[in-house]
């Protein structure tokens, strides 16, 4: 990795969607990127033409493996200047199917993994001496009722509950923690969700966004700002970016 990069950012879930868009934007703007997801072949293909990127695979659903992953990142890339956790999954199902196995599965990837990642990288040796910025991704599903989204919304609501006390504690170590809460962004995950809806329901969703549905780059721009020194006074906040969805008349 280029020692002259503006900073080293770990992007967890960098193979697609918001994570991929964020990693590409960071690289374009002079950052070094540690790109991680479960499938190393997909990562290699996604970043084949990019310089200043280091690829380190991790299956974040295996929460117990994250501590070893963090140590490997530190050994191979040194202290980081920031991280963003964009990995996640969505289970759309009625409450009657919220069985323990499904609950454990979605909470492991969406909630337990990012909390464990922050625990590991909050250690002094893991971040740059000047401090660091951590960003988590929530969802409007934690704020509004969407049938079939009770588990997904719960995993994201848990992250927002984690935010205030964790950011207060991390501030003493000069680490900032913020949450980005996007509306409907056109990723593989959201497109898969939309595919199972009727044409009428899809149209209703699309019409509920005055500025249209989002692109991954829309969320990536906000994430970039939160990771950059320009947001040095921002911590403990959840930023909704939703094309006007929540304030529509």
CB atoms within 10 A of CB 129: 8
- Provide the H-helix boundaries in the chain: 17-28, 40-46, 66-77, 100-107, 113-121, 150-171, 188-195, 199-207, 216-227
Strand partners for 240: 181
Q: How far apart are the C-alpha atoms of 65 and 162, rounded to whole Å?
A: 21
85 labelled catalytic = no
Q: Which of 31, 85, 152, 239 is catalytic?
A: 152
What lies within 8 Å, CB to CB, of 8 at 6+ separation is 1, 31, 32, 33, 34, 77, 78, 79, 80, 81, 82, 128
Please check whether residue 18 is in contact with residue 38, taking contact to mean a CB–CB distance below 8 angstroms: no
Please check whether residue 137 is in contact with residue 182, taking contact to mean a CB–CB distance below 8 angstroms: yes
Please check whether residue 114 is in contact with residue 85, taking contact to mean a CB–CB distance below 8 angstroms: yes
Tokens for 19, please give them. Answer: 């994570």
Tokens for 158, please give them. Answer: 């848990």
Tokens for 59, please give them. Answer: 């299956």
C-alpha of 46 from chain center: 18
Please check whether residue 243 is in contact with residue 211, taking contact to mean a CB–CB distance below 8 angstroms: yes
Tokens for 68, please give them. Answer: 């070893």
Q: Which residues are catalytic?
A: 152
């Amino acid at each position: 990795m280029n020692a002259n990069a503006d900073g080293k950012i770990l992007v967890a879930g960098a193979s697609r969607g918001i994570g991929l868009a964020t990693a590409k934007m960071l690289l374009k703007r002079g950052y070094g990127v540690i790109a991680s997801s479960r499938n190393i072949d997909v990562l290699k293909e996604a970043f084949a033409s990019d310089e200043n990127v280091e690829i380190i695979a991790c299956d974040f659903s295996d929460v117990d493996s994250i501590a070893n992953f963090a140590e490997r990142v530190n050994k191979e890339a040194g202290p980081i200047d920031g991280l963003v956790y964009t990995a996640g999954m969505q289970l759309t199902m009625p409450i009657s199917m919220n069985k323990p196995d499904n609950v454990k599965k979605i909470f492991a990837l969406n909630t337990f993994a990012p909390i464990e990642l922050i625990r590991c990288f909050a250690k002094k040796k893991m971040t740059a001496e000047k401090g660091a910025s951590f960003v988590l991704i929530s969802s409007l599903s934690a704020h509004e009722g969407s049938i079939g989204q009770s588990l997904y919304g719960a995993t994201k609501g848990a992250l927002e509950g984690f935010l205030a006390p964790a950011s207060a504690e991390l501030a003493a170590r000069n680490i900032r923690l913020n949450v980005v809460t996007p509306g409907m962004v056109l990723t593989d995950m959201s497109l898969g969700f939309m595919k199972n809806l009727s044409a009428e329901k899809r149209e209703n969703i699309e019409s509920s966004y005055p500025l249209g549905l989002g692109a991954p780059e829309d969320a990536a721009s906000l994430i970039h700002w939160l990771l950059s020194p320009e947001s040095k006074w921002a911590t403990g906040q959840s930023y909704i970016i939703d094309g006007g969805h929540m304030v529509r008349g």
